[in-house]
Amino acid sequence: MNLIPHIVVLALIFVMPVWDYFEAQRLKTSPDPQRRVKWYAKLLVMGAVLAGAVSWAYGFHEVATIGVSASWMPAREAIRDAIVGLIAGLILLQVVVMLQIRNKPQARSKIEKQLQTLAFMLPVTRVERVWFFVVSVFVGGICEEIVYRGFLIHYLMRSPLDLNVTAAIVVSSLIFGIAHIYQGIGGVIGSAILGVVFAVLFVMTGNLALPIFLHALIDARVLLLISEGENFASAAKT
């Protein structure tokens, strides 16, 4: 009996949310100027370990692809492609909006207020921005999609749970949302919703390519808004 999948699921539900929460508290209070870089490095290692473990346990091809569909999903390929294109287009539109509001003070001010709740984890220096981009692509885009979509949906559909694909999408998205408890209740809800979107794209396209690309883009898009040297944490204290 392969225990790795069960261990990973228990870690995703019980260990990761707690670890992330206390790491976030440490980041908020630590005077260490290298605290963000150290946290980014931990995320890279954690993401690589989890993604590597599930890919070894199930096989990379299985976690990266899926061959089932839900009854409520359109059967005609043209309709499915149109829906996938619409979802992808809406996400890409967010990036365009970020670029446009960069030079619009009022709109930028509203976004900055929202970002202040995440200021503790946002990059300030050039080195931190590089690390943040790598984390966004590798951890957010690749590792999280492999673990929370590719692996977790397959796990939930296997024995003994035997969930249907719709239930697996919902449960995996809830677990993904809870993993972001360190961002507050808004982060949990927002992440769970994004989890559903990525999971639907995974099932409708049959592979993780598009979810990985869009997830990485969403995580990295903040770099388009904030400039090197901007510290929202300091702004929030004044």
CB 203 within 8 A of CB 70: yes
Q: What's the pLDDT score for residue 232?
A: 67
Per-residue tokens: 102: 């960069």
State mean pLDDT over 158-172: 96
Amino acid 170: pLDDT: 98
What are 99-155's pLDDT values in tens digits?
777 777 777 777 777 778 888 999 999 999 999 999 999 999 999 999 999 999 999
- The percentage of residues in the chain with a pLDDT greater than 90, rounded to a whole number, is 76
CA distance linking residue 166 with residue 200, whole number of Å:
9
Mean pLDDT for the stretch of residues 24-39: 95
Q: Is the pLDDT of residue 30 over 80?
A: yes
DSSP-assigned beta bridge partners for residue 65: 207
- The residue among 20, 25, 57 whose CA lies nearest residue 175 is 20
Torsion-angle region of residue 104: left (phi > 0), alpha (psi -120 to 50) or beta? beta
Residue with tokens 């209740």: 185
pLDDT score at 157: 97
- Orientation of helix 184-205 relative to helix 209-220, angle to 10°: 150
207, β-bridge pairs = 65
| Summary mean pLDDT of the chain | 92
pLDDT band, residue 10 (cuts 50/70/90): very high
Q: From 189, 157, 174, 177, select the one nearest 20 (Cα to Cα).
A: 177
Q: Is the pLDDT of residue 212 over 70?
A: yes
Interval 174-183: pLDDT, tens: 999 999 999 9
Reading the block at residue 228, the tokens are: 């090197």
Q: How would DSSP label each residue in 93-158?
A: HHHHHHHHHTT-HHHHHHHHHHHGGGGGGS--SHHHHHHHHHIIIIIIIIIHIIIIIIIHHHHHHS
pLDDT tier at 233, thresholds 50, 70, 90: low
Q: Is the pLDDT of residue 217 over 90?
A: yes
